[in-house]
């Protein structure tokens, strides 16, 4: 299993380096000047993945309202450089049309797919036979979910009242 | 408490060189116990802590603040394949600043196993008893009253009772606890008797110099002696600065905890015949979510107050497990509920109605178990490699733990129980427990956690298989000791903090 995973890894990252990954996306632009780690394209892919994991739902804050990409970016800016590099490669691969073709039959970049096609791609990563793709899925889901539920705006929809008042005191002496 | 002897990284000059009798690396239960007891003996002691000095004025009861400042790798530490999520403390107080306060003595059967299997003659209840008693007194460890259990724990208590399973209330290290439920984010009212508010201030009063934000990256050694500990000062975002701290001491004590202490040895070129970092045990944890018709509110109230050791000792060849609960807060819940999309959102709408029982498997006791191996990725990076080698007995224990947890939750009145598989097993009643048999029992296909890290610098009488001798001395160096959970040759079968306090107190009074 391990051997297969590693071989798959080499193949995946080779795919990620192809020209297709660099083709400009036709999807809407994201303002990357706000970010420390993500470039414009990575922010766009991250946003598309986040909206797949947490689709629009009546009464729930959108991933934009919860500032998922910004929170994830801030977290990654504090992480080890090698982790930032891996996440960047992972986003390129997730977006890559050729890799999509290989695994799901879609030739368009992830960010240009419709919601049901995106869900299909995400399922492909989640249930992949390649350990590396499953790891990639877990990494991005954790990043998205932790960033989303870190936002106070998401708390009312799940019924979390937030920390009780009257205990935390920022003026307390040690 | 005098702040004068606590030096924050940002206030340090470009280079700091200090000399002392004993240099301690790490401020958790091991390091703080040594600091308190050695300063009482009149030794000059310097402590280096890689995390920051955060106190109740920083504990804002938010997961996003806590993970970023009080946990290793921003709360994202995990095995390389992300199959096990590792929650481990990282600030002054170490794990004691963020743990859920459960304080239980090392079980006699575990100590017996250590004596018989690893030749650890001193690891017996009569030797350790006075040290446990000292910690219980010093840290106000008392059994939490049954009536004070929150509903998350109360439901586990009820379910265990209905099935006639062994159950007990947890002893907790708290004083004037307000039953808030935010232990994992640092106690905002100093009720938790962590080393941050007990042994560290006590040691500082007696002359301890504590340097925070100081990441020890290498022990310099020559012949059979460690000469100096070299640290880089980190900024508030944990980046290396150009500042350095160098400590020269007669004796050095590594107290960084499992994973961290082995890694410092590896960075220093100390491998103890390739034993360093091997046999790291984690009490790998599986969880089932029980859904109830009335709110459970698992975020509120003392997070962990009930346990059952009904399944700790199972038939020969099987891995035992114990049952407790985990608090339910938004980030931890959201990032560990499996699946994604509308199905996951639906699950999150039941946030207030979920009860989380956890099954902690007692790894390291079977001959075939190797546990996790901790390695450096490269000398320059602080990122580690952690790989856990699962054996069939691990999966059998995970499956049976899930089955028993679900059984207990149904006995307590759960309307449904879900496993945390990537393709969750949904059970509607006890008749559905067999559905667990067909689930995927493989890495990455079910969420596995750990908040208990042990081993990697195993103590033992056999020089070929141990990292430290029975007197906790690193094999091959005369003035280096390891005094933390990393010396445990197996997992301990209970939440480990009191086991660490006990061994450290014994070490401070007999070995240094």
* Nearest-by-Cβ selection for A174 from B55, B81, B351: B55
Give the DSSP H or E segment for A148.
Answer: helix A131-150
Residue B370's Cβ-side half-sphere holds a number of Cα atoms within 13 Å equal to 13
C-beta atoms of B329 and A160 within 8 A? yes
- DSSP track, B211-242: E-SEEEEEEEEETTEEEEEEEEEE-TTS-EEE
Residue with tokens 């082995």, as numbered in its chain: B262
Residue B138 has pLDDT above 60, yes or no: yes
SS3 B221: strand
Query: What does the pLDDT average to over B476-499?
Result: 98
A119 close to A113: Cβ distance less than 8 angstroms: no
Q: In A, which residues are within 8 Å of B331 by CB distance?
A: 145-146, 149-150
- The residues pairing with B323 across neighbouring beta strands, listed in sequence order, are B308, B359
* Nearest-by-Cβ selection for B74 from A78, A139, A160: A78
- Distances in Å between the Cα of B480 and the Cα atoms of A63, B221, B448 are 51, 10, 34
Q: In A, which residues are within 8 Å of B69 by CB distance?
A: none
Compute the nearest-CA separation of A170 from chain B (Å).
Answer: 4
Q: In B, which residues are within 8 Å of A149 by CB distance?
A: 330-331, 333-335, 348
Question: Could you tell me if A120 lies within 8 Å of chain B, comparing CB atoms?
Answer: no
Smallest Cα–Cα separation from B258: which of B129, B88, B97, B376? B88
Residue in A127, A160, A169, A173 to test binding to B, most B beta-carbons within 10 Å: A160
Query: What does the pLDDT average to over B299-316?
Result: 98
A91-113 confidence digits (pLDDT tens): 999 998 666 666 667 678 999 99
| DSSP conformational letter for B474 | B
Supply the ipTM of this predicted assembly. 0.94
Residue B119 has pLDDT above 50, yes or no: yes
Contacts with B, A 39-98, CB within 8 Å: 52-55, 57, 60, 71, 75, 77-83
Task: Report how far residue A158's alpha carbon sits from residue A136's, in angstroms, rounded to the nearest whole number.
Answer: 27
Compute the nearest-CA separation of B352 from chain A (Å).
Answer: 6
Residue B387 has pLDDT above 60, yes or no: yes
- DSSP track, B427-472: ESSGGGGGGGGGS--STTSB-EEES--EESS-B-S-TTT-SB-TT-
A101 close to A107: Cβ distance less than 8 angstroms: yes
Task: Report how far residue B50's alpha carbon sits from residue B24's, in angstroms, rounded to the nearest whole number.
Answer: 12
Task: Report how far residue B11's alpha carbon sits from residue B412's, in angstroms, rounded to the nearest whole number.
Answer: 54
pLDDT confidence of residue A34:
83
Residue B343 has pLDDT above 60, yes or no: yes
pLDDT band at B381 (very low <50, low <70, confident <90, very high): confident
∠ CA B107-B193-B34 to the nearest 5 degrees? Answer: 70
Model pTM score: 0.94
pLDDT confidence of residue A30:
63
Higher pLDDT, A141 or A96: A141
Residue in B82, B212, B373 to test binding to A, most A beta-carbons within 10 Å: B82
Instruction: Say what percent of chain B tops pLDDT 70.
Output: 99
Task: State residue B339 phi and psi, 5-degree precision.
Answer: 65, -165
Residue with tokens 């743990």, as numbered in its chain: B99
Task: Report how far residue B512's alpha carbon sits from residue B507's, in angstroms, rounded to the nearest whole number.
Answer: 7
Query: Helix/strand/coil (H, E, C) string of B69-138?
Result: HHEHHHHCCECCCCCEEECCECCCCCHHHHCCCECCCCCHHHHHHHHHHHCCCCCCHHHHHHHHHHHHHH
pLDDT confidence of residue B180:
97
Query: What does the pLDDT average to over A130-140?
Result: 93
pLDDT confidence of residue B338:
87
Q: In A, which residues are within 8 Å of B295 by CB distance?
A: 159
Query: What does the pLDDT average to over B36-63?
Result: 97
Compute the nearest-CA separation of B512 from chain A (Å).
Answer: 31
Compute the nearest-CA separation of B338 from chain A (Å).
Answer: 9
b/e sequence B102-115, b meaning 16+ C-beta within 10 Å: bbbbbbeebbebbe
| DSSP conformational letter for A24 | P
Query: What does the pLDDT average to over A128-132?
Result: 90
Contacts with B, A 5-44, CB within 8 Å: none
pLDDT confidence of residue A28:
57
Query: What does the pLDDT average to over A44-54?
Result: 97
Size of interface A-B (CB pairs under 8 A): 130
Instruction: Calculate the average pLDDT of chain A.
Output: 82
């Amino acid at each position: 299993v391990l051997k297969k995973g590693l071989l798959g890894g080499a193949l995946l990252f080779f795919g990620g380096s192809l020209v297709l990954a660099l083709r400009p996306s036709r999807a809407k632009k994201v303002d990357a000047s706000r970010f420390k780690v993500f470039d414009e394209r990575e922010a766009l892919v991250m946003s598309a993945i986040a909206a797949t994991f947490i689709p629009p739902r009546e009464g729930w804050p959108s991933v934009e309202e919860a500032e998922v990409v910004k929170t994830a970016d801030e977290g990654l800016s504090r992480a080890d450089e090698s982790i930032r590099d891996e996440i960047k490669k992972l986003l390129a691969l997730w977006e890559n049309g050729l890799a999509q073709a290989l695994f799901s039959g879609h030739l368009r970049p992830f960010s240009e797919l419709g919601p049901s096609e995106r869900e299909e791609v995400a399922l492909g990563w989640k249930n992949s036979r390649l350990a590396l793709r499953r790891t990639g899925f877990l990494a991005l889901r954790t990043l998205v979910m932790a960033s989303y539920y870190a936002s106070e705006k998401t708390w009312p929809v799940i019924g979390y009242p937030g920390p009780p008042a009257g205990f935390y005191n920022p003026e307390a002496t040690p | 408490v005098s702040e004068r002897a606590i030096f924050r990284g940002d206030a340090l000059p470009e280079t700091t060189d200090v000399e002392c009798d004993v240099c301690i690396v790490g401020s958790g239960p091991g390091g703080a116990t040594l600091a308190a007891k050695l300063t009482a003996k009149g030794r000059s002691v310097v402590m280096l802590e890689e995390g920051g000095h955060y106190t109740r004025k920083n504990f804002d009861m938010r997961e996003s603040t806590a993970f970023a400042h009080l946990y290793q790798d921003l709360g994202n530490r995990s095995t390389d394949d992300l199959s096990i999520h590792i929650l481990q403390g990282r600030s002054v107080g170490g794990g004691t600043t963020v743990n859920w306060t459960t304080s239980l003595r090392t079980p006699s059967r575990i100590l017996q196993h250590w004596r018989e299997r690893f030749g650890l003659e001193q690891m017996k209840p009569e030797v350790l008893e006075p040290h446990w008693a000292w910690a219980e007194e010093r840290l106000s460890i008392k059994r939490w009253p049954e009536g004070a259990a929150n509903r998350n724990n109360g439901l586990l208590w009820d379910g265990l009772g209905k099935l006639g399973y062994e159950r007990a209330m947890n002893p907790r290290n708290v004083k004037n606890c307000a039953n808030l439920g935010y232990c994992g984010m640092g106690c905002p009212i100093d009720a938790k008797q962590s080393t941050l508010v007990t042994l560290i201030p006590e040691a500082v009063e007696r002359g301890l110099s504590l340097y925070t934000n100081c990441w020890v990256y290498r022990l310099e050694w020559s012949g059979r002696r460690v000469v100096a500990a070299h640290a880089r000062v980190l900024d508030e975002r944990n980046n290396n600065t150009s500042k350095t701290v160098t400590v020269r001491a007669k004796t050095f004590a590594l107290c960084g905890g499992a994973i961290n202490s082995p890694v410092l040895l590896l960075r220093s070129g100390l491998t103890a015949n390739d034993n360093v970092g091997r046999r790291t045990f984690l009490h790998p944890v599986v969880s089932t979510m029980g859904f109830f018709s009335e709110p459970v509110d698992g975020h509120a109230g003392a997070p962990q107050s009930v346990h059952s050791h009904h399944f700790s000792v199972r038939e020969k060849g099987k891995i035992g497990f114990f049952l407790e609960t985990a608090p339910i807060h938004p980030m931890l819940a959201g990032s560990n509920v499996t699946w994604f999309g509308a199905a996951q959102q639906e699950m999150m709408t039941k946030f207030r109605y979920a009860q989380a029982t956890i099954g902690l498997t007692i790894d390291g006791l079977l001959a075939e178990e190797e546990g996790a191996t901790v390695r450096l990725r490269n000398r320059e990076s602080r990122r580690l490699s952690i790989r856990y080698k699962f054996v069939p007995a691990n999966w059998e224990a995970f499956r049976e733990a899930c089955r028993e947890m679900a059984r207990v939750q149904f006995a307590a009145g759960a309307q449904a129980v879900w496993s945390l598989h990537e393709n969750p097993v949904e059970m509607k009643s006890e008749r559905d427990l067999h559905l667990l048999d067909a689930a995927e029992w493989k890495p990455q296909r079910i969420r596995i956690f750990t908040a208990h890290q042990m081993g990697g610098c195993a103590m033992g009488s056999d020089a070929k298989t141990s990292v430290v001798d029975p007197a906790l001395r690193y094999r091959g160096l005369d003035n280096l000791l390891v005094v933390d959970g990393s010396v445990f040759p197996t997992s301990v079968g209970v939440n480990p903090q009191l086991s660490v306090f006990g061994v450290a107190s014994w070490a401070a009074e007999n070995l240094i």
